[in-house]
C-alpha cells in the first residue's frame, strides 16, 4: 500500500458531534481501464476531490457507502466490529448500482491499515468511537445515463460521540404515511446514496413537527413498519421482541442481525415478521407496547420514547429507556469495546 505523508497534522476537535470532524489521512483507490487499481491504492492526506462539473455522480447519483466503527479502550487496544460484513455488503450495493465489485479482503486490509495509522484519533470515553465511512462514486465526465467506466473508492474517518444530538435519551419517531423510502425491486436493501436523498424531505417535515426521524411504512400497502433510514427498528410487545422481516426494501443491518443473534442466544424470543402499524398502535393503546428501539452503526441502540401517527401521539412504555433496550446496548457495546467476552467471534482486535 502506498503511503503519502502529510506535513502538518490537524488540531484535534474538542467536541465529538457526529460526522463533523475528519482525521489526517484517508484511503483512496481508483477504477479505470477495466479494473480497480490496487497497485496505486494509497493512504494519503485527507483532502478535497477535484472533480469536473460533468462528473456522473453529481447528476445520476451512482454512489454507495458503508458505516462501521473502531473502538479503543484505556489499554490502547483497538477493535473493529464485523468489518468483513461491511465489505461484503458494499460489494452487494456496488452490484445493484452497476459499480464494479472489488476485492473485499484488500479493502478490509487497507481499512485496517488506515485505522492503525489514525489510532490516536480514536476517542476512548464511553459512547465514543471512530466512525469509518467507506464509499464509492462514479467519476465519468459525461451526461449520458449509463454505468460509469471510472470510479473512486475512498475511506474517511471521523471521531464521534452519539448520533442523536440528545445522546441516549429516547427519540420520537413520525410514522410517515405519504412519502415512501423504498419498494421491493428497488434499492432499499442496499446502502446506496439515493435512498438517503429520497428520505430527506420526510425527515425535514418530521423534524418541523417536533419528531427526530421518520419511521417508514411499506410502499405497497402503506401498512407495515419498515425501518427508520438511519436504523432498523425493534418492538417489544407483551414481552416479545419483534422486528420487521427483511423483504427487499429494508437494509440488512449488521447491528440488526447482531441484536437478533444476541437476544436469541440469551434466551429471548425474537420474531422477524410483518409488523403492522395497527398492531403497534393497538399495543400502545392497550398498554402492551413495552419498548421500541432502533439499531444501526451510527445510532448503536437508540431507545424510542414515542411516535406520531395520523396526527396522534403515542407513548412507548413509560416513555423512558426500556430494560431490553438497555440490555442490548450494554451487551453489544460491551462486546464492541472488549469489556465483555466476544462469544460470537464478531470482533477483530487490530492493535
**Smallest distance from ligand COI to CB 323, Å:** 24
Residue 257: strand, helix, or coil: helix
Q: Does 188 bind ligand COI (CB under 6 A)?
A: no
**Smallest distance from ligand COI to CB 67, Å:** 2
**Smallest distance from ligand COI to CB 22, Å:** 15
**Smallest distance from ligand COI to CB 300, Å:** 9
Q: Which is nearer to ligand COI, 68 or 263 (CB)?
A: 68
Q: Does 296 bind ligand COI (CB under 6 A)?
A: yes
Question: Using CB under 6 A as the criterion, what x/- string covers residues 66-85 for binding ligand COI?
Answer: -x------------------
By DSSP bridging, strand 300-309 and strand 171-176 are parallel
Binder to ligand COI among 91, 297, 302, 333 (CB under 6 A)? 297
Calculate the alpha carbon distances from 39 to 2, 5, 49, 152, 156 in Å: 8, 18, 20, 14, 20
Q: How far is Cα 110 from Cα 112, in angstroms, rounded to an integer?
A: 5
**Smallest distance from ligand COI to CB 66, Å:** 7
**Smallest distance from ligand COI to CB 96, Å:** 16
| Alpha-carbon dihedral sign for residues 102, 106, 111, 117 | negative
Contact indicator for 295, 255 with CB cutoff of 8 Å: yes
Binder to ligand COI among 206, 236, 298, 324 (CB under 6 A)? 298
Calculate the alpha carbon distances from 153 to 26, 196, 284 in Å: 10, 19, 45
**Extended beta strands in 161-269, E state:** 171-176, 213-216, 232-237, 240-244
**Smallest distance from ligand COI to CB 20, Å:** 13
Q: Using CB under 6 A, which of the segments 55-63, 214-222, 270-278, 293-301 binds ligand COI? A: 293-301
Residue 339: strand, helix, or coil: coil
Q: Using CB under 6 A, which of the segments 34-42, 232-240, 295-303, 336-344 binds ligand COI? A: 295-303
Alpha helices by DSSP H, listed for the chain, are: 56-60, 83-96, 104-117, 193-197, 200-208, 254-265, 277-286, 323-337
Of residues 299-338, which lie at the interface with ligand COI (CB under 6 A)? 299
Q: Using CB under 6 A, which of the segments 51-59, 95-103, 271-279, 290-298 binds ligand COI? A: 290-298
Calculate the alpha carbon distances from 114 to 46, 63, 267 in Å: 11, 22, 38
**Smallest distance from ligand COI to CB 151, Å:** 20
Q: Does 230 bind ligand COI (CB under 6 A)?
A: yes
Contact indicator for 284, 234 with CB cutoff of 8 Å: no
Q: Does 23 bind ligand COI (CB under 6 A)?
A: no
Contact indicator for 300, 255 with CB cutoff of 8 Å: yes
Q: Using CB under 6 A, which of the segments 56-64, 74-82, 241-249, 291-299 binds ligand COI? A: 291-299
Give buried/exposed letters for 223-237 (b at 16+ CB in 10 A, else e).
ebbbbbbbbbbbbbb
Q: Please count the CA atoms within 13 angstroms of the CA of 264 that sit on its side-chain side.
A: 12
Q: Which is nearer to ligand COI, 297 or 337 (CB)?
A: 297
* Residue whose C-alpha is closest to residue 139's, from 150, 130, 131: 150
Q: Using CB under 6 A, which of the segments 4-12, 239-247, 296-304, 328-336 binds ligand COI? A: 296-304
- The residue of the chain with the least Cβ separation from ligand COI equals 67
Q: Using CB under 6 A, which of the segments 54-62, 88-96, 294-302, 333-341 binds ligand COI? A: 294-302
**Smallest distance from ligand COI to CB 265, Å:** 23
Contact indicator for 130, 26 with CB cutoff of 8 Å: no
Binding site for ligand COI (CB under 6 A): 67, 230, 296-299
Amino acid at each position: 500500500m502506498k503511503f503519502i505523508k502529510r506535513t502538518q497534522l490537524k488540531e484535534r476537535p474538542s467536541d465529538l458531534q457526529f460526522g463533523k470532524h475528519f482525521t489526517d489521512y484517508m484511503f483512496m483507490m481508483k477504477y479505470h481501464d477495466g479494473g480497480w487499481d490496487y497497485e496505486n491504492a494509497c493512504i494519503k492526506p485527507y483532502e478535497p476531490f477535484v472533480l469536473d462539473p460533468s462528473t456522473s455522480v453529481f447528476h445520476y447519483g451512482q454512489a454507495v457507502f458503508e458505516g462501521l466503527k473502531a473502538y479503543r479502550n484505556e489499554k490502547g487496544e483497538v477493535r473493529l466490529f464485523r468489518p468483513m460484513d461491511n465489505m461484503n455488503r458494499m460489494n452487494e450495493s456496488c452490484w445493484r448500482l452497476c459499480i464494479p465489485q472489488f476485492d473485499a479482503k484488500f479493502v478490509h486490509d487497507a481499512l485496517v491499515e488506515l485505522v492503525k495509522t489514525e489510532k490516536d484519533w480514536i476517542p476512548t470515553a464511553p459512547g465514543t468511537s471512530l466512525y469509518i465511512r467507506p464509499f464509492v462514486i462514479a467519476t465519468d465526465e459525461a451526461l449520458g445515463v449509463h454505468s460509469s467506466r471510472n470510479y473512486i473508492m475512498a475511506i474517511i474517518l471521523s471521531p464521534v460521540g452519539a448520533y442523536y444530538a440528545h445522546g441516549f435519551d429516547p427519540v420520537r419517531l413520525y410514522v410517515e404515511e405519504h412519502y415512501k423510502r423504498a419498494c421491493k425491486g428497488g434499492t432499499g436493501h442496499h446502502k446506496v446514496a439515493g435512498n438517503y436523498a429520497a428520505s430527506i424531505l420526510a425527515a425535514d417535515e418530521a423534524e418541523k413537527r417536533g419528531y427526530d426521524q421518520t419511521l417508514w411504512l411499506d410502499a405497497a400497502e402503506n401498512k407495515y413498519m419498515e425501518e427508520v433510514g438511519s436504523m432498523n427498528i425493534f418492538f417489544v410487545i407483551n414481552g416479545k421482541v419483534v422486528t420487521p422481516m427483511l423483504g427487499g426494501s429494508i437494509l440488512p443491518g449488521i447491528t440488526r442481525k447482531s441484536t437478533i443473534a444476541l437476544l436469541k442466544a440469551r434466551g429471548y424470543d425474537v420474531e422477524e415478521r410483518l409488523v403492522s402499524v395497527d398492531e403497534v398502535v393497538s399495543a400502545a393503546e392497550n398498554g402492551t407496547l413495552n419498548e421500541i428501539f432502533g439499531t444501526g452503526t451510527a445510532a448503536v441502540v437508540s431507545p424510542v420514547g414515542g411516535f406520531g401517527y395520523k396526527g396522534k401521539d403515542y407513548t412507548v412504555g413509560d416513555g423512558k429507556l426500556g430494560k431490553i433496550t438497555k440490555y442490548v446496548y450494554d451487551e453489544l457495546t460491551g462486546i464492541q469495546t472488549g469489556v465483555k467476552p466476544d462469544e460470537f467471534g464478531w470482533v477483530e482486535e487490530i492493535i
